[in-house]
Amino acid sequence: MSDSPWLTVTGGASGTGQGTVNYSVAANPGAGRTGTITAGSAVLTITQSGTSPASVRATGGTPQATGAGMPFAGALQATVLDGNNNPLSGVTVTFAAPASGASASLSGPSAVTNASGVALVTATANSAIGIYDVTASVGPLSAVFVLSNGAGNCDLNRDGLINVGDVQRAIDQALGTFAPSDDLDGDRVWNVLDVQMVANAALQLGCAAK
């Protein structure tokens, strides 16, 4: 006999001695579920994967830090599971970073889970310094990634931002109107390459000449 309405015994429901019990399983429109069929002293446990997400977990890329304007080394990976902790593929996960202050630009606003239930995006820090959360959500379910933007070498005036003020300071040092003190590329000369590095960081392209 079955303890669940979605498990139906279709043959061998009665009798004595050894035998075969046949059963059918109804399609599952929701979360994963478990039921049992009992035949005498034998109990068969049946677990059926679901199609509805039961949890979203941050399984990669948290916590991590990078310099302002620099890409984060690890992708942000969110894993979607059903009620039995089985991975769900084909689920769209929405990623969101803070709209202002310290934040990151993401490779996309959403991603679809693969066969392992994992959806991922990459992130690049903006020019503001600080710690913040990026969320991954599926409906009311969510997970949090903790990211940190550090000052890095391109924050020349050490105000926690990389912006036009740092670019101007870089230009002044290259022109000799301000005493050179920040040799970013290590060539012992403050020139256009150092200016380019600061400008790139201000544009969220990383503190590098590229």
3-state secondary structure the chain: CECCCCEEEEECCCCCCCCCCEEEECCCCCCCEEEEEEECCEEEEEEECCCCCCEEEEEECCCEEEECCCECCCCEEEEEECCCCCECCCCEEEEECCCCCCCEEECCCEEECCCCCEEEECEEECCECEEEEEEEEECCEEEEEEEEEECCCCCCCCCCECCHHHHHHHHHHHHCCCCCCCCCCCCCCCCHHHHHHHHHHHCCCCCCCC
At the top level of CATH, which class does the domain 153-210 belong to?
Answer: mainly alpha
For the whole model, what pTM was predicted?
Answer: 0.60
At 30 the pLDDT is 63
**Boundaries of CATH 1.10.1330 in the chain?**
153-210
The per-residue pLDDT for range 139-193, each reduced to its tens digit, is 999 999 999 887 667 878 777 778 899 899 889 988 888 776 666 766 667 888 8
The per-residue pLDDT for range 23-82, each reduced to its tens digit, is 787 766 666 678 888 876 778 887 776 668 999 999 999 998 887 788 898 999 999 998
Domain over 55-150 is classified CATH 2.60.40.10 = yes
**Boundaries of CATH 2.60.40.10 in the chain?**
55-150
